[in-house]
């Protein structure tokens, strides 16, 4: 009897142990499933707009004709031959750019790219227009015409060639010219350059010549020092060569070829007489240069420089820019029309 009771107790204990083991196995399995699910969620890429998607590109005859890109903030860009447009997460156009010369927008060229920027509500904020050739030839500049607009899209100002003009209540440019007498910040200097040259028929370069050039340069004082503002303000007003071996000098370069530069320095205008006298003595230039003609050429350049620094010249240039901008605004190239 005692043996049967013992067997029943043992059997009951085994059954209870199996039940406990199964319970914890099931609980562990559920927990592992949750862990695996969380891991899968973390590892799988999200389809929300917060994550980049792969760009979508369309090709024709092996050439890309359209590309759509997606950005982390939910925005996107759409680029084709004509332009590239950027949209925010709400689908509103933020900015766009295109080439003024009519070539594909995929071929980036900063000097030819015009652009527009928009506010969050899609109203034009800024427009920048470049020349189709990269240079506005009338002003010899490769800058852009920049227009700025208020929150209603009305024109506020327009800038070009370092000049900024504002608009009146009727949307017309206000032609104001404030003369700034900054002549002390600009000056002409003499640049003397020396080169190594040879006779054209001296193929072995056995007999080197000294070639010297004089030119005027326009310098500007900025950031505490003088800088080159216009390296070719005036033409070369003196150029000659000296043959040290033969002891002769001349100004006929029909049989001379330049090899390389090895010296350049700048001098104040009032040093010209001293420089010329030194070269006349050193290189025997008495019979090959006209001292009076040189002085005449330099004085003409100085007079032209002084005129450019005057109120009259500044006002004339200012009016020319305003006329040019008004013509631009009345054309279909302007973003404000």
For every residue of 65-84, DSSP letters joined together read EEEEEE-TTS-EEEEESS-E
pLDDT at 45 over 90: no
pLDDT digits (tens, 9 = 90+) for 241-285: 999 888 889 999 999 998 887 888 999 999 999 999 999 889 988
Q: Are 189 and 234 in contact (CB under 8 A)?
A: no
pLDDT tens, 23-40?
A: 555 545 544 544 444 444
Q: Of how many residues is the chain composed? A: 337
Q: What angle do CA 297, 303, 306 make, to 5 degrees?
A: 145
Q: 62 versus 158: which is more confidently predicted?
A: 158
Rounded CA-CA distance 32/74 in Å is: 34
What does the pLDDT read at residue 12?
63
Residue-range domains of the chain with CATH? 56-179 (3.90.930), 183-308 (no CATH)
6 near 12, Cβ under 8 Å?
no
Rounded Cα–Cα distance for residues 80 and 98 (Å): 10
pTM for the model stands at 0.63
């Amino acid at each position: 009897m005692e043996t049967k009771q013992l067997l029943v107790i043992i059997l009951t204990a085994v059954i209870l142990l199996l039940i406990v083991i199964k319970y914890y196995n099931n609980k562990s399995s559920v927990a592992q499933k949750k862990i695996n699910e969380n891991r899968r969620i973390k590892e799988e890429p999200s389809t929300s707009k917060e994550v980049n998607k792969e760009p979508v590109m369309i090709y024709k005859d092996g050439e890309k004709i359209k590309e759509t890109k997606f950005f982390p903030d939910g925005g996107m860009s759409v680029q084709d031959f004509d332009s590239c447009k950027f949209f925010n997460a709400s689908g509103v156009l933020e900015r766009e750019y295109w080439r003024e010369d009519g070539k594909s927008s995929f071929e980036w060229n900063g000097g030819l790219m015009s652009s527009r920027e928009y506010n969050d509500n899609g109203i034009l904020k800024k427009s920048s227009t470049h020349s189709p050739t990269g240079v506005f030839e009338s002003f010899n500049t490769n800058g852009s015409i920049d227009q700025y607009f208020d929150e209603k899209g009305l024109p506020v100002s327009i800038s070009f060639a370092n000049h900024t003009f504002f608009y009146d209540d009727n949307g017309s440019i206000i032609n104001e010219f404030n003369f700034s007498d900054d002549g002390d910040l600009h000056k002409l200097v003499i640049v003397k350059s020396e080169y190594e040259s040879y006779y054209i028929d001296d193929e072995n370069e056995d007999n080197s010549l000294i070639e010297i050039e004089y030119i005027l340069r326009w310098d500007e004082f900025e950031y505490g020092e003088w800088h080159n503002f216009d390296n070719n303000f005036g033409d070369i007003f003196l150029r000659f060569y000296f043959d040290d071996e033969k002891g002769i000098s001349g100004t006929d370069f029909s049989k001379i070829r330049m090899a390389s530069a090895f010296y350049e320095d700048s001098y104040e205008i009032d040093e010209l007489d001293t420089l010329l006298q030194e070269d006349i003595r050193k290189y025997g230039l008495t019979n090959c240069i006209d001292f009076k003609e040189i002085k005449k050429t330099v004085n003409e350049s100085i007079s032209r420089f002084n005129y450019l620094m005057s109120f009259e010249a500044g006002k004339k240039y200012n009016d020319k820019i305003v006329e040019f901008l008004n013509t631009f605004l009345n054309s279909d190239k302007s973003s404000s029309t």
